[in-house]
Amino acid sequence: MRLFGKSKAVSVLPVIDVPEGFHAPPKTQWGFTPSLQSGITQDGISGNILTGTTLGPHVTLHHSGDGAQFSIRQTDDYGTGLVFEFGDFTSDFFSLAFELPLEGVLALGRQDLLRFVLRTQAKEPFQAYARLNLCHGPNTEQVVRMIEIGKGESYAEFDIFYTGFEQKRATSAWIDLIINEPAHKHLALEEAIILRRARASL
């Protein structure tokens, strides 16, 4: 029992769940790496994969094609990623939704930046969209950024300060990776990482 003076504050280390060897930028306070393979066996899946299919606890896929034909398999190098081969894909878009865990949502504020990092390989690199969705009360804020696909590591960054996000009413958040015209594209998604860090003071 402490009799004299004020009790000393206990420092809480930030929870930064990122791949081993990954260098998080300065002022990173939180990091999350969604599991990509937990819903995909080594044999993979192919054929008519329905929109809304879950790939992992925080990852779902979406498309607008009725009976869209494509395949998903684990990467050949025993890594943690997935390979998507679209062939004659009938949908005009394909997206992966990466949901932030609740603790990450509740800690997110207007003073923060969210960085969405991808490690990808593709036969022909292309541009895609990263869309941040912030739900607070009945409202959803959306911010869209371009992101490079197929050139190794790339990222999109979202500044929460310029949104109308209300932290006290936060309920959920996710980032959509949106690929337009995916037919005949071949994509290896090796890693997806979400980071929260403090923005510079104005």
Q: Considering the entire predicted model, what is its pTM?
A: 0.89
User: What's residue 4's pLDDT?
Assistant: 38
Domains defined for the chain, CATH in brackets: 34-198 (2.60.120)
Instruction: Report the amino acid identity of residue 40.
Output: I
Q: How confident is the model at residue 7 (pLDDT cuts 50, 70, 90)?
A: very low
pLDDT per position as a tens digit, 10-48: 334 457 889 888 889 988 999 999 999 888 887 888 988
Residue type at position 133: N
Query: Residue 17 carries which side chain, given as an amino acid letter?
Result: D
Residues 6+ apart with CB under 8 A from 147: 116, 118, 127, 128, 129, 130, 154, 155, 156, 177
